[in-house]
Amino acid sequence: MTRPTSVQVTEVGTRDGFQAESQFVPTATKVRLINELIAAGIPRIEFSSFVSPRAIPQLSDAVDVLAGIDRSHGTTLAALVPNPRGAARAAEAGVDQMVVFISASESHNQKNVNRSIDESLSGLDEIMRIASIDGVDMHGAIPTSFGCPFEGNVPLDNLGKVVASYRDAGIKSIGLGDTTGMATPTLVTDTCRYLQDRFPDIRIVLHFHNTRGIGLCNVMAGLDEGIDAYESAFGGLGGCPFAPGATGNICTEDLVFLLHEMGIETGVDIRALCSIARDVEGVIGRELPGQVMKAGLREDIYKMDEGATAVG
């Protein structure tokens, strides 16, 4: 495959990132950060989730967050919906896109939504019906696409079953989630080829975590397979609260830096992203693993007196 010349970057920090935080991030802060991401040129933001407030209280303000966002720039505002009730709330709030999610592994689906895969699939038609009434776009996410913390390797046929169900329901965009960072470049290559051969009409979006330090290596494998859409979080924040060992997502600034250095367009202002990531560190009160926001860009030049000089 030919590497893409442009890539769609999706920011998931205010959803995937903040959902794992012990302290509630104020609604006004979420709105400010999302508006800054929009101004920086991020084309798609998974801003929140319409799950039960009891399940994830950190995202209980999804309606209020959406109401405060500047929607004049055309950024797609997506939100997770776990069931028809969540879909109805999301449609009423006016989201641009609903994200349904069904795990590739039975065990994780039980942990994530307390239902079997078949039970989750049985509710898909009703969610699609709700979305169609309001003309809301749909995206299908598949956690544990590259491995499950409870079951280990997930057979590609299991993944294909969920993709086929999404396709049959009318969903054309599928996100493969690396929930606990079990993906490797070889596995990414094999998975993308398997799905592209069987579902050539489906757009694949890749969502990697950096749990084992090879998140951007997996991006490179995806690019080599022609994948042109990736999800990431500012500063590398995040981690599934229902998956042991899950750590942060690949970092948005580091991803954009890599893409730009490869001559791949994103339409995103990386300096603005770095500023946002440093802001998020202050919001959550700890250092984040993102690298580019600390080191700066390659073209940044320092004065001689800004660094130490060897003695002797």
- Would you name the residues annotated as active-site residues? 240
Query: 53 with 17: CB under 8 angstroms?
Result: no
The alpha helices in the chain, defined as continuous H runs, are: 27-39, 62-68, 84-93, 106-113, 117-122, 124-134, 156-169, 185-198, 215-224, 252-261, 270-284, 292-295
Cα 147 to Cα 35, 193, 208, 209, distances in angstroms: 34, 17, 12, 12
CB atoms within 10 A of CB 122: 11
> Per residue in 175-190, is it b (16+ CB within 10 Å) or e — as a string?
bbbbbbbbbbeebbbe
Query: 241 with 56: CB under 8 angstroms?
Result: yes
C-alpha–C-alpha distance, residues 244 and 307, integer Å: 42
**What is the torsional sign of CA 223, 37, 251, 87?**
negative
**What is the torsional sign of CA 180, 102, 113, 65?**
positive
Amino acid at position 167, single letter: R
Start-to-end CA distance of the chain, whole Å, equals: 54
C-alpha–C-alpha distance, residues 177 and 264, integer Å: 23
DSSP reduced 3-state for 110: helix
The alpha helices in 13-155, defined as continuous H runs, are: 27-39, 62-68, 84-93, 106-113, 117-122, 124-134
C-alpha–C-alpha distance, residues 138 and 129, integer Å: 11
Query: 74 with 105: CB under 8 angstroms?
Result: no
